[in-house]
Amino acid sequence: MALATALAATAGDAKIVFLAGPPSHGPGDHEHRAGCLLLKACLDKVPGVASEVYSNGWPQNPEAAFAGAATVVIYSDGGGGHPFLRDDRLRTIAELMKNGVGLVCLHYAVEPTKEAGEKEFLDWIGGCFETDWSVNPTWSPDFKPLPTHASTRGVNPFKINDEWYFHMRFRDGIKGVLPILSAVPPESTMSRSDGPHEGNPAVREAVKGGEPQIVAWACERPDGGRGFGFTGGHFHGNWGKDDFRKLVLNAILWTAKVEVPAAGIESKVTEEDLKRNLDRK
């Protein structure tokens, strides 16, 4: 069931479908529903765009929900609980991708499993979180400078504390993938023992060597579709940061093949806005 629908759409509007995962983590963390509704409210002010938000990770009527979609935005838990990895949902998304529909994966939603979804994610968005290879520490990267891309229009260099995943698995040679946010992680990100999300010899060597790590990226697929991966978004309050939010809003528009304004998508979010629609936890 749609939680929210945009104002009456016209035939020329680009349809954006948000899939918000079920409640997860503690209050203020992984606020999938509230985050999707907040981003939708910002996009509702953009001409030529219509968006819908669906709860619990998957619409009850997928055929109707995805009909005419320009892009799909998934903000949910990942791994074995990823909404795409149940029933025949990967096949449903695969059909959309074949038709050039865009895909944006936010935070934990960038993580499929090695057994199911990883090959598809590498095809669809160019990269993903891989257990025993990627890691999920909380740190404050300083993003500067930013590359020239539609997603970075009007976005100033910024520094923000979040659970930024890194040492991601990308396509061979990072083919067709453009790094959008990159930074060198401090040694403190390796303070945990080895584990599926915590650390491994390969990532420890990369951090020791001072290798810049990609935490957000854009890709273009041979089928004409576009993908975007963004590993931040653990803390709901970060959506109140203008540059953080603008980057993701721009990326959503870009994946929907809608021209991003030269100054990016302007939006305003208040403390009251951030308190709306929070899950009861």
* pLDDT per position as a tens digit, 29-56: 999 999 999 999 999 999 999 999 999 9
pLDDT of residue 155: 98
Start-to-end CA span in the chain (Å): 21
- Which of helix, strand or coil describes residue 75? strand
What distance in Å separates the CA atoms of residue 78 and residue 80, rounded to the nearest whole number?
A: 6
- Which of helix, strand or coil describes residue 200? coil
Residues in the chain: 281
Q: What radius of gyration do the chain's Cα atoms show?
A: 17
pLDDT of residue 159: 98
What distance in Å separates the CA atoms of residue 258 and residue 48, rounded to the nearest whole number?
A: 8
**Number of neighbouring beta carbons within 10 Å of residue 180:** 23
Mean pLDDT of the chain: 94
User: In order of start, what are the domains of the chain with their CATH numbers?
Assistant: 2-275 (3.40.50.880)
In DSSP terms, 29 is beta-bridged to 235
Query: pLDDT under 50 in the chain at which residues?
Result: 1-11
* pLDDT per position as a tens digit, 53-70: 999 999 999 999 999 999
What distance in Å separates the CA atoms of residue 207 and residue 232, rounded to the nearest whole number?
A: 19
Verdict on whether the full-model pTM lies above 0.85: yes
* pLDDT per position as a tens digit, 99-126: 999 999 999 999 999 999 999 999 999 9
Assigned token pair, 106? 């936010």
pLDDT of residue 281: 86
Torsion, CA 152, CA 157, CA 161, CA 165, rounded to 10: 50
Assigned token pair, 205? 């060597």
Assigned token pair, 181? 């946010």
pLDDT of residue 257: 97
Assigned token pair, 151? 């997603």
User: How is 93-127 classified by DSSP, letter by letter?
Assistant: HHHHHHTT-EEEEEGGGG--BTTTBHHHHHHHTSE
